[in-house]
Amino acid sequence: MNASLRWSTFAAPSRFYALAGRLMPWFWGVAIVFALAGLWVGFFVAPTDHQQGESYRIIFIHVPAAWMSMLLYMVMAFWAALGWMLNTRLASMMARAIAPTGAMFTFLALWTGAFWGKPTWGTWWVWDARLTSEFILLLLYIGYIALTEAIDDQRRAAHAGALLALVGAVNIPIIYFSVIWWNTLHQGATISMTAAPKMATTMLVAMLLMTISCWAYAFAVTWSRTRAIVLEQESDTEWVRALVGPQGRR
């Protein structure tokens, strides 16, 4: 195998820093363009729901945010575990960078869910299985961030965070299957890999556009945060000193 394709090459913080810097503007562009398109289709083109009226349109933000909250936690747990098992610094940095974005999407899912629940259920919050497990996910994100920031030694912080992330990963299938396992107020999946979509085509298009936007946003923000962590943790290396120049070393 060519040496340039080895993991050690891709895992080098200096190479990642340069690659992420080149790709980030593209992800920002995709995030903005698809968000504008998704919001336009979802709020102005998609038809009014015959049962929920106009209030259902919050799902074009709520559902992608909920999807991303679960996906990002699994990706965070993967990178945290990889950093723990292989002792790769960049993997642990990626996990730390993902956590705030995952927490933001989780909070957004809970917040928009409350706005949807008020006209639908008549209340802002119920201790429903889906809502409760999603709230636990937010606590797991906050716990991971607090734990990794509280430990000064970066290696010990990464190992402790990885353990918490892996234990917390059991909550993801609970969130996903809660509407199947228990009798919950939360509606079941509208989009399934094994069945036809239960929504109009324009609604589905808006949902997919917003999902792609959230995905691109997560890449852009996470890589930006990872680059900042790289500069912080690699501040004593030659390449960082050369990058920041004399002013950055003051």
The structure tokens listed for 132 are: 């409760």
Which H or E run includes 182?
none
pLDDT at 136 over 60: yes
pTM of the model: 0.85
CA distances from 158 to 15, 41, 144, 151 (A): 21, 42, 10, 9
Q: Map out the domains of the chain as residue ranges.
A: 63-235
pLDDT single digits (tens) 217-226: 999 999 999 9
pLDDT in tens, 4-26: 444 455 567 888 888 888 999 99
